Structure formats: structure tokens, C-alpha cells
Structure 1
Amino acid sequence: MPSLKEIKTRIASVNSTRKITSAMKMVASSKLHHAQVMIENMLPYETMLEHILKTFLASEADASNVFTIERPVKRVAIVAYSSNSSLCGGFNANIIKLMQTVAAEYEALGKENIVIYPVGRKVAEKAAKLGYPLGGVFTELADKADVKQCIDLARELGTKFVDGEIDKVELVYHHFKSAGSQILTRKTFLPIDLKSELTKDHYRDLKSTVATKESQEYLRKRDTEQQASSPRMLDGKPLNDNFVVEPDMNTILKALLPKYAHLLLYTALLDSIASEHAARMVAMQTATDNADELLRGLNLQYNKSRQQAITNELLDIVGGSVNN
């Protein structure tokens, strides 16, 4: 049985740890509030822009471009979002596990053809340890969201995709749903994934203006046949009944596609930062609760041992007086 001094030392140690975890919980809660405001303000804008762009690309027969055409994957890039520090529960472990799962799907390409773009020190260290080539280290982004760096990263990935250096780009991050729920998310960045719009059940919705995959292919085939039979037939006509493009298709796509790309990276970054603070707040709250429970047990054990020591001393005194 431990002595009173040992129990008292352990109580002091647990108290000190509890003060640290309680302070870290309060700091994470404050940072979470600011991060939550940022993601709540940005997410509706990014979601609506993504919906408009994908609906436009899915509905227009002539709107396809190099960013929407899928091609055989020979080289892939994975943008993984983690944190720079620990003590946030399973936040980093879950991201690393999903990153390894995604990379394992492209294992046949070879490690040299799987490029990791790590946003955060934890995932950068793990990717380097596993032997994957890094497209750069963006540790500062994990601490402070910077729109300019997201634009530069989106431009770099887009340029490499157009030049054929990368055939596919995937994002791995936590989507912030609430303070107690962060959803591990895997999303295709390039080529632009239209399946989210094309695979929706629009057949029974008579008011829907979103084209299905079959109708999109039909429009392309019909326009090709009409241009072959009468090249002047389509001159001056709008592209279809849903959209009238001004001034022209290329101008619209040049304006929307870069904005969509950097907003997607920036929103994922804000999601990840908010999720990190939420995970740390929950982890520190759990640690504080565990410390409180441990203190209750130690205090009870200390009081029992002290009472037993007092009882033994009284018995020794009484026994000594009786013998005398």
C-alpha cells in the first residue's frame, strides 16, 4: 500500500496536469469559436458555387474542358490536411489512416507516382517516413488559413494537371459538422467530379433543370450530327433552354474554374482547422474529467490511509499505557 507521502505527491501531479488540460480546453474552445464563424460564413458560398458550376458543366453539351475529362491515371496527387501539434484525440491518426488507404488504392502505380501535398506537420512527417514524394510542405497553413497560399497551391495543381504531370488530385480532410462531430472526408479535386450532379435522381422531378448523364451525351451527339448536316443551323442559337451564356463559354469557364478550385482548397482548410480545435477541445475536456475522477479516488485513498495511520497511533498509545 502506498504511503501518505506518495499519495500526496501523486495528487499534486494530477492537479498540475488537470490545470494544463483545463487551460488547453479553454484555449481550444476560444479558437474553435473563431474557426466556426469562418467556416459557417464560407461554406454556403463555396457549396452554392460548386453546385452552380457542376450543374452548368453537366447541363451544357459544349461546356466540357480539360478539367472535366477523366483520363487514365498514371500519376496521382493527394492533398492531406492534418495539424502541426498533437493532443487532439484521433484527429491526426484518422487523417493518416485515410491517406494510407487512398494511397494503397494506387499502389500499382508505384510510390514515386503518388505525390503527397501535406498541409500540417503530422501528415508531412508520416508521408516522408513512408517514402512518398512530397509536393511541398505547407505547415504554416495548418496554423493560419491563408487565401493566397491556397490560390498558389490550386494554380500549381491545375497547371500540372493541364500539362499531364498529374492525372488526378484527391483531397483528404475532416469536414466540421459540429463541435462533437467531425466527418472524415475524401473528395476528388481534379478532374472535376460531375457524378454528384449527374447521379442524382432527376427522372421523377419534372421541374428539375439539371441534365442527367444520358441527356448530356444525347445533346452532344445531336449537336454533332446537326453541325455535320447543316453547319449554319446552330448559328445565333442559345446553348440550350436552361442557360444563355454571356459573353461566351470560354470567358465564363476561365472565371469560374479558378475561383472554384481555390475556394475548394480554402474551404477544406477551414473545415480542417475547425475540426482540429473541436477535437482538441473534446480531448482536453475528457482528460480534465478523467483527472477529476482520478483525484476523487486519490483523495479517498489518502483520507483512508490517514485515518488508518491515526487509528494505529491511538492503538499504540492505548496499548503502551495498558502495559505500563
Structure 2
Amino acid sequence: MPAALNEVKRRITSTQKTAQITTAMQMVSTSKLSQIQHHTGDYQIYASKVESVVTHLAASHLLESTDVSAAGDGKADDVPVSSLITQRPVKKTGLLVITSDRGLVGSYNSNIIKSTNDFIKSHGKTDDDYVVLAVGGNGADFYKKRGLNVAYEYRGVSDVPTFVEVREIVKTVTAMYNNGVFDELYVCYSHFVNRLTSRFRATRMLPITGDTIAESKPDGDETQQLQAKQIEITPQYELEPSAEEILQVVLPQYAQSLVYGAILDGKTSEHASSATAMQTASENAHDLIDSLSLQFNRARQSAITTEITEITGGQAALE
């Protein structure tokens, strides 16, 4: 077999092996997507209840009028509650950027980083006015190379993140806010819409005020549905033993739910992007195999025709 045909055959075999790998990775990502969507559905029930309670407490102006330091030690679940609602002049803005640790996820990471950079530019500040807190290796590596202040990084988030992981992140972030590392915090992540669509979000998390609670609500139809539900059922609360002690329990849970929900949402978007990227890679591999097979068959047919012509010509010469 001619060397050119051997090279084409080698490329076909190599591409077939690549297609097998990308197809297997697509199946794995699809399985992870199904798992996290099931987990997220259960979590959203809890998160919506916590958000509903905090929303109504904010509507009653308890966040502005309550002194949480007056009751107990001002902490709940190891999170300093007083720091969650402390407002001060904004000199530094913290950005909790959620990306993936690995590649092969299509444009997932690049879209988040680009949108975060656009968010920074839109606020008319310089890079020195921001502190980056990176959840995921891609974001951490990018901003380190760019020279931004990466004050915190967390790598190795599970494929289906646990609440315990997020509690440690919230405790660290809250301590940094309390120590004045930054004066406000935005959570930047990719919101999962469907298998093919995701949308960047930058949600203000700290300090917790009535405005930040309103900003954290979903957009569009989801907001209308939520408002409709609130109109149908307006909860009434009797505060016992006191508003201060209730906020000590509810506010840390709300902060944790915001970060945990963002990480779950981002991971869901990551798995969907990975599944789509691997599906596209597999389809491109099969298209390349078809093209190479056609090229191989044509070259082989040409070689056979040439051999037949040479045999026929040699036989005619002998006659």
C-alpha cells in the first residue's frame, strides 16, 4: 500500500479513537448534569423558603433597625452575623468568580471571565479597586497572570458540590469582609438556562440589605412567577424570642444559600457546556472520518486503476 494511503488510514484510526473518547466524555458529562439537576431541584425548595423569610424581614426594615450585636455573641453557625449587614463606604469591591478547574468545557470559562472583565469596565474603576476571590482554577490562574489581587482561591469543587464545602467558603469570605479586605462583594457566575444556553450573572451578596436581596432575585418570567406566589400567600411572622436572635440564624443561612446556589448553578452550566462541547467534538470527528474515508477510497481506487492500466499496457507491449 502506498505511503500516502497508509497516512490517511492512520489518521482515520486516530480520529476514530478520539471520537470514542469524546463520546464517552459526553456521556459522563450528561450523567453529571442529570445528577446535579436532581440535586438542585431539591435544594431550590429550601433556598426559596430562606429567601422568602429574609425578603419579608427586609420588607419590615428589620435589617436596618436591628442590632444583632446586642443579642448573644453575634454569631450563628460560626458566621459573624453583624458583618453580614455592616455597610461602609466602598473603597474595594470583592468579586467571587466561579469557574471550572479543568478545560474541555467549551466557552464556559472564557464567557465568565470576559463578562466579569466587562462588569469591571462598566463600573468605571481600575483593577486596583477590585479584589478577586476565585472558586475554580481557571479564574484563579487567569487573574494571577493578569496581575489582579487574588486574595482567595478554592480549587477542587466537587462535580455535585456539598453544602459543607460552601460553608467553609462563606466563613472565609465573610471574615475577609469583616476585616476590611473589601467593602462589598459580588458573586460572578454562569446561570444555567438550558442545555444550550447560559447567562452571566453578577449578584451582590454583601452587605445584606433590602437592595441586595432585591438584586439577588431572578430576572424575567421567574420574577413574575415569584411575585405572583407572594401575592397569593403573604406569610405572617411572630418573632420569638427576638428579631435579633432570629436574624442570627436566618442571615448566615441566606448568605450560604446565595453562594451555594451560585456554585450549583455554575456547576450545572459547566456540565451542560462540557456535554455540548464533547458532542460537537464527536460530530466533527465523525465528519472528518467520513471525509478521510472518501479520500482513502478515491486514492485506493486511483491506485488500482493505475495498476490495471500498467498491467494492460505491459500485456499489449508483449503482444
2:32 equivalent to 1:31: yes
| Cα 1:144–1:127 shift into 2, 3 Å | farther
| Cα 1:304–1:165 shift into 2, 3 Å | closer
| Cα 1:282–1:5 shift into 2, 3 Å | same
Equivalent position amino acid for 2:304 in 1: I
> Could you tell me how far 1:286 is from its partner in structure 2?
0.7
Q: Secondary structure at the match of 2:153?
A: coil
Match of 1:92 in 2: 109
Query: Which one of 138, 159, 163 corresponds to residue 175 of structure 2?
Result: 159
Asked whether the 8 Å contact 1:75–1:109 carries over to 2, the reply is: no
Q: Secondary structure at the match of 2:198?
A: strand
Q: State percent identity of aligned pairs.
A: 29
Query: Could you list the per-position Cα deviations for residues 258-284 of structure 1 after superposition, in whole angstroms to 9, with x for gaps in the alignment?
Result: 011112111211112222111111100
Asked whether the 8 Å contact 2:63–2:85 carries over to 1, the reply is: no
Q: Secondary structure at the match of 1:127?
A: helix
Match of 1:150 in 2: 166
Structure number with greater Rg is 1
2:118 equivalent to 1:101: yes
> Could you tell me how far 1:85 is from its partner in structure 2?
0.7
- Written as runs of structure 1 = structure 2, the 5 A alignment for 1:1-324 is 3-57=4-58, 59-64=59-64, 67-68=84-85, 71-105=88-122, 108=125, 110-111=127-128, 113-141=129-157, 143=159, 145-192=161-208, 193-196=212-215, 208=231, 242-324=236-318
CA distance in 1, matches of 2:317, 2:246: 105
| Cα 1:110–1:182 shift into 2, 3 Å | closer
Query: Could you list the per-position Cα deviations for residues 279-299 of structure 1 after superposition, in whole angstroms to 9, with x for gaps in the alignment?
Result: 111100111011111111111
Asked whether the 8 Å contact 1:120–1:142 carries over to 2, the reply is: no
Structure 1: state its 5+ residue gaps: 212-240
Asked whether the 8 Å contact 1:77–1:166 carries over to 2, the reply is: yes
Task: Name which of structure 1's ranges 45-54 and 9-18 shifts more when overlaid on structure 2.
Answer: 45-54
Structure 2: state its 5+ residue gaps: 67-81
User: What is the TM-score when the length of structure 1 is the normalising length?
Assistant: 0.80
Q: Secondary structure at the match of 1:97?
A: helix
> Could you tell me how far 1:119 is from its partner in structure 2?
0.7
Query: Could you list the per-position Cα deviations for residues 124-170 of structure 1 after superposition, in whole angstroms to 9, with x for gaps in the alignment?
Result: 10010111122222002255624233213222333343454421100
> Could you tell me how far 1:107 is from its partner in structure 2?
5.8
CA distance in 1, matches of 2:199, 2:44: 15
Asked whether the 8 Å contact 2:196–2:272 carries over to 1, the reply is: yes
Q: Secondary structure at the match of 2:96?
A: strand
CA distance in 2, matches of 1:196, 1:125: 29
Asked whether the 8 Å contact 1:11–1:295 carries over to 2, the reply is: yes
| Cα 1:103–1:19 shift into 2, 3 Å | same
Q: Secondary structure at the match of 1:24?
A: helix
Query: Could you list the per-position Cα deviations for residues 42-92 of structure 1 after superposition, in whole angstroms to 9, with x for gaps in the alignment?
Result: 1232133223312321x2134326645754310111111111110110001
> Could you tell me how far 1:171 is from its partner in structure 2?
0.5
Asked whether the 8 Å contact 1:28–1:281 carries over to 2, the reply is: yes
Equivalent position amino acid for 1:60 in 2: S
CA distance in 1, matches of 2:62, 2:270: 42
What is the RMSD computed on CA atoms of the aligned residues?
2.9
